[in-house]
Amino acid sequence: MRIGFLLNGERVEADAPPTRTLLDWLREERGLTGTKEGCNEGDCGACTVLVTDERGARALNACILFLPQLRGKAVRTVEGIAGPEGALHPVQRAMVDHHGSQCGFCTPGFVVAMAAAHLNGDCDHDAALAGNLCRCTGYAPILRAAEAAAAEPVPDWMRDRPNPDDAPPAGSGGAFLPRSADELAAWYADHPDATLIAGATDVGLWVTKGLRDLPEVAFLSGARDLARIEERDGRLWFGAGATMTEVLEAVRDRFPSWAALIGRYGSAQVRNAATIGGNVANGSPIGDNPPVLLALGARLHLRRGEERRVLPVEDFFLDYGRQDRRPGEFLEGIDVPLSAPGLRVWKVSKRWDQDISAVCGAFDIRVEDGRVVRVRTGFGGMAATPRRARALEAALEGRPWDEATVEAAVPALAEDFRPIDDMRASAAYRLEVAGNLLRRYLHESRGAAVSVRAVRP
């Protein structure tokens, strides 16, 4: 399959199988070995590249980025961060001045991630660099370098202007690149066994770790109407192709607790690629968004050809690895209420950043005149699918909102869930944590400081 894009300011064409990763192509076909292979699953950031298109410039992991996802875009590797005449980028110069490199293996990825944040005026360096791992420096000199470079102007050579139409036609060599949801619907109805790829943060590992062959695929990033976020019919609509970075910006003021959760979703590189639709459609029992969507009463909009249907999110997850999605049917969008002041969601994991939940609990509790009048919950990591805790909800509704009600309701979680023991947590731990999250909700509703980053002994 032939794909055209800009590489370090030069128009190039890549002729490769659809599931060839950018990392492998850069190193093996172009000799650009500054982009490193570390984990090969999107965790370590050693392979970070800068990708620019009509949605802006963002850092992405080249190890799980397939070449067709780059059609008509611009890519900069670490070799393209310096100027055409060798002038150092401000972040490169700051890394030298602040001794931000030791063994050097991770340094190219850090430099590209820093350059992406610098280009976008992002000064939250902890968040911007959370997806880049280093075993040598202790991070302090790298963060000092990022801070020192922040006020420097963006070099002219960093402002790529790709033309999405300056590329070979889409759809050849076993891959389809739709430009709209309509194109996807027509094609997928005729190819129901094909694999749909949005951000590839999940499917990428099927290839790099599972060594799976995907004979027929469709890449969805060119279908811009699938990425819209807007108000529709009095609700907030997320196109299934909206990235988690875009979702984060949309919910930051409306649902601050959800936004805080998304800030721990993967890393900047992962959030820049991963989509909300992919996080739901893959049906993972430990996906971060489904518990929130369950608590919000979200509706899923599914499409097969010209046929559409709307499904409550709790009816979508049937069993482990099985969802209510028909052959040739795809998730087109998700809608939620415009606001939910009572929404709180917490993720419990071994690491703060870039970790999979042991338990994720979401609650939307409405209290009037001291009594619980409405409860919706959502939990991940507690069962084979994301699920509501209906027995817990029933134990709370209509009762006084106080410690006695909460303590009486917590045992109902054992009716709702039979969690398993695994490498992340024991079943007993999961049940205890789920109950503690409800207790946390009560204390926070009364004004107590409950954040692990705010509470001090």
Indicate which CATH number applies to the domain containing 380.
Answer: 3.30.390.50
Structure tokens at 174: 């076993």
Q: Is residue 280 part of a domain?
A: no
Inform me whether the pLDDT recorded for 453 exceeds 80.
Answer: no
Kindly list the distances between the CA atom of residue 15 and the CA atoms of 4, 70, 80, 197, in Å, as whole numbers in the listed order.
9, 12, 22, 19
Mean pLDDT for 191-218 is 95
Mean pLDDT for 168-178 is 71
Domain that holds residue 97: 1-168
- pLDDT tens digits for 96-121? 999 999 999 999 999 999 999 999 99
Q: Is residue 312 part of a domain?
A: no
Long-range contacts of 236-239 (CB under 8 A, 24+ apart): 236/335, 236/336, 236/337, 236/338, 237/333, 237/334, 237/335, 238/276, 238/277, 238/333, 238/334, 238/335, 238/336, 239/277, 239/332, 239/333
Question: Confidence band (pLDDT; 50, 70, 90) for 371?
Answer: very high
Enclosing H/E stretch for 414:
helix 413-416
Inform me whether the pLDDT recorded for 372 exceeds 70.
Answer: yes
Cα angle, residue 238 at apex, residues 230 and 176 outer, rounded to 5°? 115
List, edge to edge, every strand of the sheet that includes 330-337: 229-232, 235-239, 330-337, 299-304, 307-312
| DSSP annotation of 226 | G
Inform me whether the pLDDT recorded for 321 exceeds 60.
Answer: yes
Last residue of a domain, one of 168, 187, 209: 168
Question: Confidence band (pLDDT; 50, 70, 90) for 285?
Answer: very high
Confidence at residue 455, expressed as pLDDT on a 0 to 100 scale: 65
Total domains present in the chain:
2
Q: Is residue 179 part of a domain?
A: no
Instruction: For residue 433, give the amino acid letter.
Output: V
User: For the purposes of burial, counting CB atoms within 10 Å of the CB of 127, is it exposed (0-12), middle (13-18) or buried (19 or more)?
Assistant: middle
Last residue of a domain, one of 110, 142, 168: 168
Contact 171, 30 (CB under 8 A): no
Phi, psi of 327 (to 5 degrees): -55, 130
Cα 314 to Cα 338: distance, rounded to the nearest angstrom? 19
Confidence at residue 165, expressed as pLDDT on a 0 to 100 scale: 65
Q: Is residue 6 part of a domain?
A: yes
Best CA proximity match to 224, nearest among 209, 206, 242, 207: 242
Inform me whether the pLDDT recorded for 84 exceeds 80.
Answer: yes
Contact 131, 268 (CB under 8 A): yes
Contact 305, 277 (CB under 8 A): no
Confidence at residue 396, expressed as pLDDT on a 0 to 100 scale: 98
Cα 393 to Cα 44: distance, rounded to the nearest angstrom? 40
Which residues have a Cβ under 8 Å from the Cβ of 268 and sit 6 or more positions away? Answer: 58, 59, 113, 116, 117, 127, 128, 130, 131, 245
Q: Is residue 260 part of a domain?
A: no
- pLDDT tens digits for 228-279? 999 999 999 999 999 999 999 999 999 999 999 999 999 999 999 999 999 9
Mean pLDDT for 323-342 is 97
Q: Is residue 324 part of a domain?
A: no
User: For the purposes of burial, counting CB atoms within 10 Å of the CB of 72, is it exposed (0-12), middle (13-18) or buried (19 or more)?
Assistant: buried
Q: Is residue 187 part of a domain?
A: no
Confidence at residue 454, expressed as pLDDT on a 0 to 100 scale: 72
Inform me whether the pLDDT recorded for 169 exceeds 60.
Answer: no
Best CA proximity match to 76, nearest among 35, 29, 118: 35
Last residue of a domain, one of 168, 201, 223: 168
Range in 10-14, 159-163, 236-240, 314-318 with the lowest mean pLDDT:
159-163
Confidence at residue 174, expressed as pLDDT on a 0 to 100 scale: 76
Contact 189, 195 (CB under 8 A): no
Inform me whether the pLDDT recorded for 307 exceeds 70.
Answer: yes
Structure tokens at 59: 């850092």
Confidence at residue 160, expressed as pLDDT on a 0 to 100 scale: 95
Inform me whether the pLDDT recorded for 312 exceeds 90.
Answer: yes
Confidence at residue 456, expressed as pLDDT on a 0 to 100 scale: 63
CATH of the domain at 114: 3.10.20.30
Inform me whether the pLDDT recorded for 166 exceeds 80.
Answer: no
Q: Is residue 457 part of a domain?
A: yes
Average predicted confidence (pLDDT) for the chain: 95
Contact 324, 316 (CB under 8 A): yes
Question: Confidence band (pLDDT; 50, 70, 90) for 22?
Answer: very high
Contact 42, 21 (CB under 8 A): no
Confidence at residue 178, expressed as pLDDT on a 0 to 100 scale: 95
- In sequence order, what DSSP letters do the residues of 359-388 get, joined into one string? EEEEEEEEEETTEEEEEEEEEESSSSS-B-
